[in-house]
């Protein structure tokens, strides 16, 4: 079981009059959160992708590449990579690059996002959102697994003899989670490929997405990847804690009840009917254990701790409370409840071991005729292979 934090990287004013961070400060704070989570032994740090204010993480690969150099053991992920508006070729190359820089400590969560204007900003039509999500991931899946790809689809130019570079580390692509809260087609796609399914249910009523998770499990089994309880499921959460429950509510209330997303809501009511966990560490433990009661055994639990304008120092305190008081207890309890045969969340090392055992990973063989822009030469040619004809000197 993996536990960690995720951030959407929003900037919001402090209702208590504290300073509003600049974009540069917010980016530095995101890195501080990741480093602290790594130092305290959390398993995962995930980052969302957004292209509209008040969010700053428009380039998760750049941020995660920096975080990779600043951490040692934590798995880096996205809490969404927009599979609809990003070119799958660029996703394949960007995240394979980060995978190398992170020495394999990377996986990916893909999704459609929840911002309507982002589609025309990148030349896409929101009415094609689902078709884009399905086709683009189908291509991404191939780009990471086939050295040379021929492909033709609806939404981008065709590819002929194309090799994305760099190739995945150890010839094993990053594990992919499909983040979805709306449509069974995405759950079906995750199940078809044997990928993970992540339900970020923080803005919905308790267990609202159980039907989609159950559907994914059934289809995972139908496609021959294992029993239903062997499907790979992740859940989101949102937590704010203090040693005493009343102090947690008092401290978090102004950030919650004055935020535009929740204005008019009463914090106690919202926490009661949704997965938002507010209170003492024990209350967060108790709330989190109900997720397993509803969704069954699952592999990854992430919490948001730094949104709605919560100052960085308070967010860092949340990371410490999660790592030292909540996660050890929840991990022990969920491990004790876990049914036999339920797998752990995939890691790069586990995927390499499952594919190769004790053998050396396969070395990719990219298209030797793709060449470079100047000479058409290829660094991948075998010594006994005739080099492609080079362009004459100008």
Q: Are residues 199 and 212 in contact, defined by beta-carbon separation less than 8 angstroms? A: yes
Distance CA 169, CA 164 (A): 13
| Among 226, 225, 171, 100, CA closest to 352 | 171
What is the pLDDT, as a whole number, of residue 372?
56
- Is 21 inside any structural domain? yes
For 236-270, what is each residue's pLDDT tens digit?
Answer: 999 999 999 999 999 999 999 999 888 889 999 99
Number of domains in the chain: 1
Confidence of residue 370 (pLDDT cuts 50, 70, 90): low
CA distances from 184 to 91, 187, 190, 233, 317 (A): 24, 5, 10, 15, 37
DSSP assignment of 282-348: HHHHHHHHHHHHHH-S-SEEEEE-S-TT--HHHHHHHHHHIIIIIHHHHHHHHHHHPPTTPPPPP-H
Residue 31 lies in a domain: yes
Q: Tell me what the mean pLDDT of segment 69-94 comes to.
A: 96
Q: Of the ranges 99-113, 305-319, 376-390, which one carries the lowest mean pLDDT score?
A: 376-390
The pTM (predicted TM-score) of the whole model is 0.92
Q: What is the arithmetic mean of pLDDT over 8-20?
A: 93
pLDDT tens, position by position, 56-81: 999 999 999 999 999 999 999 999 99
Is 108 within the bounds of a domain?
yes
Q: 44: domain range?
A: 2-356
Q: What is the DSSP string of 100-120?
A: HHTTT-BEEEEE--S-TTHHH
The per-residue pLDDT for range 153-169, each reduced to its tens digit, is 999 999 999 999 999 99
User: The CATH number of the domain where 188 resides is what?
Assistant: 3.20.20.30
Domain membership flag for residue 368: no
Residue 206 DSSP symbol = T
| Percentage of residues of the chain with pLDDT beyond 70 | 94
- Domain membership of residue 145 (yes or no) is yes
Task: Kindly indicate the confidence band of residue 202, based on its pLDDT and cuts at 50, 70 and 90.
Answer: confident
Q: How far apart are CA 193 and CA 150, in angstroms?
A: 20
Name the nearest CA neighbour of 33 among 251, 228, 323. 323
- Residue 277, pLDDT above cutoff 70: yes
- Note whether 291 and 275 are within 8 A (CB): yes
User: Taking residues 353-369, what's their average pLDDT?
Assistant: 88
Average of per-residue pLDDT values in the chain: 92
Q: How confident is the model at residue 385 (pLDDT cuts 50, 70, 90)?
A: very low
Per the CB < 8 A criterion, the answer to whether 41 and 1 are in contact is no
Residues 6 or more apart from 344 whose CB is under 8 A from it? Answer: 1, 2, 299, 350
The pLDDT of residue 371: 58
Nearest residue to 51 (alpha-carbon basis) of 80, 30, 76: 80
């Amino acid at each position: 079981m993996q536990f960690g934090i995720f951030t959407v990287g929003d900037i919001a004013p402090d209702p208590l009059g504290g300073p509003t961070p600049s974009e540069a400060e917010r980016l530095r704070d995101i890195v501080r959160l990741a480093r602290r989570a790594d130092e305290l032994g959390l398993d995962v740090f995930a980052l969302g992708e957004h292209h509209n204010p008040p969010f700053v993480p428009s380039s998760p690969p750049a941020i995660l590449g920096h975080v990779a150099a600043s951490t040692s053991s934590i798995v880096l992920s996205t809490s969404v990579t927009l599979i609809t508006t990003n070119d799958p070729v660029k996703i394949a190359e960007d995240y394979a690059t980060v995978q190398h820089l992170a020495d394999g400590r990377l996986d990916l969560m893909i999704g459609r996002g929840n911002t309507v204007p982002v589609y025309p900003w990148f030349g896409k039509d929101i009415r094609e959102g689902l078709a884009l999500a399905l086709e683009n991931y189908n291509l991404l899946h191939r780009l990471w697994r086939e050295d040379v790809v021929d492909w033709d689809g609806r939404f981008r130019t065709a590819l002929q003899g194309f090799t994305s570079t760099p190739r995945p580390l150890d010839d094993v692509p990053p594990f992919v989670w499909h983040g979805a809260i709306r449509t069974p087609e995405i759950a079906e796609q995750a199940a078809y490929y044997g990928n993970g399914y992540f339900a970020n249910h923080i803005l919905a009523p308790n267990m609202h997405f159980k039907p989609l998770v159950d559907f994914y499990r059934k289809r995972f089994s139908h496609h021959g990847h294992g029993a239903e309880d062997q499907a790979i499921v992740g859940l989101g959460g949102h937590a704010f804690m203090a040693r005493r429950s009343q102090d947690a509510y008092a401290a978090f209330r102004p950030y919650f009840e004055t935020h535009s997303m929740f204005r008019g809501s009463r914090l106690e009511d919202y926490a009661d009917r949704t997965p938002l966990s507010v209170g003492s560490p024990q209350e967060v433990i108790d709330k989190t254990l109900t997720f397993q009661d509803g969704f069954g055994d699952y592999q990854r639990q992430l919490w948001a701790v730094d949104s709605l304008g919560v100052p960085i120092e308070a967010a860092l305190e949340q990371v410490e409370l999660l790592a030292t008081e909540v996660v050890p207890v929840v991990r022990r309890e969920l491990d004790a409840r876990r049914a036999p045969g339920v797998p752990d969340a995939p890691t790069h090392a586990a995927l390499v071991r499952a594919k190769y055992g004790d053998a050396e990973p396969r070395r990719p063989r990219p298209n030797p005729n793709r060449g470079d822009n100047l000479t058409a030469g290829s660094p991948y040619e075998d010594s006994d292979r005739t080099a492609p004809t080079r362009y004459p000197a100008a």
